[in-house]
Structure 1
């Protein structure tokens, strides 16, 4: 059997193992994974997803009910492994607030200036979110920024829920595999949204591209590897399968679908963004994430701007600005996450995107 045929065989076997028709997974994007998007992906044969980071237990439960009301397909749930409590610096936070206030006044968002606060949102209880994910009974629960506790993993195993562990380096992949991961999700530096580094401070020093990271992980773990980051069409998917992936996970490539429900200006910007027009930055949340270079990103990363506060303090400081920009559909200050292949994204129904990726992949490889 040729290597090309072996790649398709491996991907089809992985999909069959999960109960999918196609090995195309929706990335679990916190704040950008409405049930409608997952329903469309799952009904097309792929795997739906939801990032529950910002959701209370009741919200997680409702999302699961909404999904199952319109799909008999499958989905994964995902959340971050919590960081240690950040060290607070009142003087530094005041400096950031002053910068944000001047920026907001320039943008005409007086309402967000008035509601800005140095106090981050009340944290959700991680253990309660984990319990809600277990109760929702997804086919898989994925991790990012670390690994789950032994107790959580035992609870998942007892319920037959697979553990998909996100890794941004070979070292992280080995740690997760040794801890009992069923699948490694290899996240290349091209990915939009937050970087999944186990140690927040190391994120800038471990920016590895997917097509270097993927085969290196495949070579050292004996479990399936899913490729994510910079995959938005059949060409990227086919290349990932040739490099040893068992499936592909797509995030930005689905954001222009009508079912995603993101701001029109964000969706339009995604379709016009060149790879070099995205940047990995901490200016929205304090955690490194890849976003479109907007006016706010340029201003907040300029040499005279204050360095971002740690997560989740920076997220709290910028929350009013981000919300005001979303209400105004103002791309200049929207938290416009996007991967480096954003410009390849298509404004199509999500089911058509699934079909285009998988049918095109088969045509390229078969």
Structure 2
């Protein structure tokens, strides 16, 4: 019934829907529920230890006999200089005073590690059906090992040039991430945020430029969006924000309230939360220090000094310093169990495509 079955056949899923990996707000529970509904469940591993990743994949496989995707970052780490750290702490000093926090107290460093040999060993051990990457692809030797383990490889592109690069370097499918998408920009061949095309412009151009299946991402949260993605040449979609209000997500009560109030203009692209451009629900820090600030240290170091502020504000029921990543279709999210939401998304998309076909 789907007009393009390439992604379904590639991933061996019921529906051509990929649950977006959303580090920090989800774990195995949401992966399991989305997979039970027929989607490809994605486990975000960038903030997990190797041991925790093993545990999470084990839980998923105990509960559901479905393909699993392990997701990793593959950025090039940049050291935090004392000058950059001092500048950022000075920018946040007023907030520390307001919350009665000691800026000199030790803080745990933000944990967003790139894919490395140690995690490659975990992939070789667990043999996930799919391994997805953000910020390009890992070095060629590691990529060869991932493929030798039998895993399919996918990654995000924010431009046609990046999509062609990914195909040329071994990606089995490409995620076309439009500017509307929540979370970190997957850009790796450019840092020009203002030039990133939207999903409607990006998907057909990527579909024309590569032979591998294209997965549309950004602004897709209901059947209309899925049908539109297929009309533009996509073989499937990646959806994240629509799942944030599912009971299986780990979004805090304050975060859920912010999501429920979301509108089309509630999100912005900012670098003040982690040091790298990402789209999220606008909060106090983004309004007062950003959304783009030259004071923010490089990824992921900006998040380190925000840790104590985030914890203090959340205790008061506020998300002033919380990176609540979400896309521009935030208002279309619903409070449904993830399995039910997945089936409803597929059903409404097929109905819409059938109606359009006459």
Please report the TM-score for the alignment, with normalisation by the length of structure 2: 0.92
* Distance in 2 (alpha carbons) for counterparts of 1:165 and 1:355: 25
Shift of 1:155: 1.7
Shift of 1:342: 0.5
Question: What is the aligned partner in structure 2 of residue 75 from structure 1?
Answer: 68
With 172-181 and 145-154 compared, the bigger mean Cα shift is at 145-154
Residue 335 of structure 2, aligned match among 323, 329, 347: 347
Question: What is the aligned partner in structure 2 of residue 189 from structure 1?
Answer: 179
Question: What is the aligned partner in structure 1 of residue 229 from structure 2?
Answer: 240
String of CA shifts for 1:286-310, please: whole Å, max 9, x gaps: 011001111121111179x762111
Contact 1:294–1:333 at 8 Å: present in 2 too?
Answer: yes
SS of residue matched to 2:175: strand
Shift of 1:19: 1.4
Question: What is the aligned partner in structure 1 of residue 120 from structure 2?
Answer: 130
Question: What is the aligned partner in structure 1 of residue 265 from structure 2?
Answer: 276
Question: What is the aligned partner in structure 1 of residue 47 from structure 2?
Answer: 54
Shift of 1:95: 2.8
Shift of 1:169: 0.6
**Gap regions ≥5 residues in structure 2:** none
1:162 aligns with 2:156: no
Contact 2:46–2:113 at 8 Å: present in 1 too?
Answer: no
Contact 2:73–2:133 at 8 Å: present in 1 too?
Answer: yes
1:253 aligns with 2:245: no
Number of residue-to-residue matches in the alignment: 354
Question: What is the aligned partner in structure 1 of residue 83 from structure 2?
Answer: 91
1:312 aligns with 2:305: no
Residue 3 of structure 2, aligned match among 6, 9, 19: 9
* Distance in 2 (alpha carbons) for counterparts of 1:288 and 1:252: 17
1:333 aligns with 2:326: no
Question: What is the aligned partner in structure 2 of residue 292 from structure 1?
Answer: 281
Shift of 1:116: 6.1
Question: What is the aligned partner in structure 1 of residue 141 from structure 2?
Answer: 151
The structure with more helix, counted as a fraction of residues: 1
Hey, which bits of structure 1, 4+ residues long, moved more than 3 A? 111-125, 323-329
* Distance in 1 (alpha carbons) for counterparts of 2:91 and 2:273: 13
* Distance in 1 (alpha carbons) for counterparts of 2:273 and 2:142: 30
Shift of 1:359: 0.4
Question: What is the aligned partner in structure 2 of residue 22 from structure 1?
Answer: 15
1:32 aligns with 2:25: yes
* Distance in 2 (alpha carbons) for counterparts of 1:48 and 1:280: 26
* Distance in 1 (alpha carbons) for counterparts of 2:130 and 2:45: 13
String of CA shifts for 1:113-155, please: whole Å, max 9, x gaps: 5646596569577321232233222111011111122222222
Question: What is the aligned partner in structure 1 of residue 188 from structure 2?
Answer: 198
With 119-128 and 19-28 compared, the bigger mean Cα shift is at 119-128
* Distance in 1 (alpha carbons) for counterparts of 2:208 and 2:114: 38
Contact 1:215–1:243 at 8 Å: present in 2 too?
Answer: yes
**Gap regions ≥5 residues in structure 1:** none
With 55-64 and 145-154 compared, the bigger mean Cα shift is at 145-154
Shift of 1:92: 3.7
* Distance in 1 (alpha carbons) for counterparts of 2:339 and 2:112: 37
SS of residue matched to 1:184: strand
With 253-262 and 141-150 compared, the bigger mean Cα shift is at 141-150
* Distance in 1 (alpha carbons) for counterparts of 2:333 and 2:111: 33
Contact 2:120–2:145 at 8 Å: present in 1 too?
Answer: no
Distance verdict in 2 for CA 1:237–1:115, change over 3 Å: farther
* Distance in 2 (alpha carbons) for counterparts of 1:28 and 1:122: 14
Shift of 1:81: 0.9
Residue 321 of structure 1, aligned match among 305, 309, 314: 309
Residue 142 of structure 1, aligned match among 129, 132, 139: 132
SS of residue matched to 1:9: coil
Contact 2:157–2:177 at 8 Å: present in 1 too?
Answer: yes
SS of residue matched to 1:259: coil
Distance verdict in 2 for CA 1:239–1:115, change over 3 Å: farther
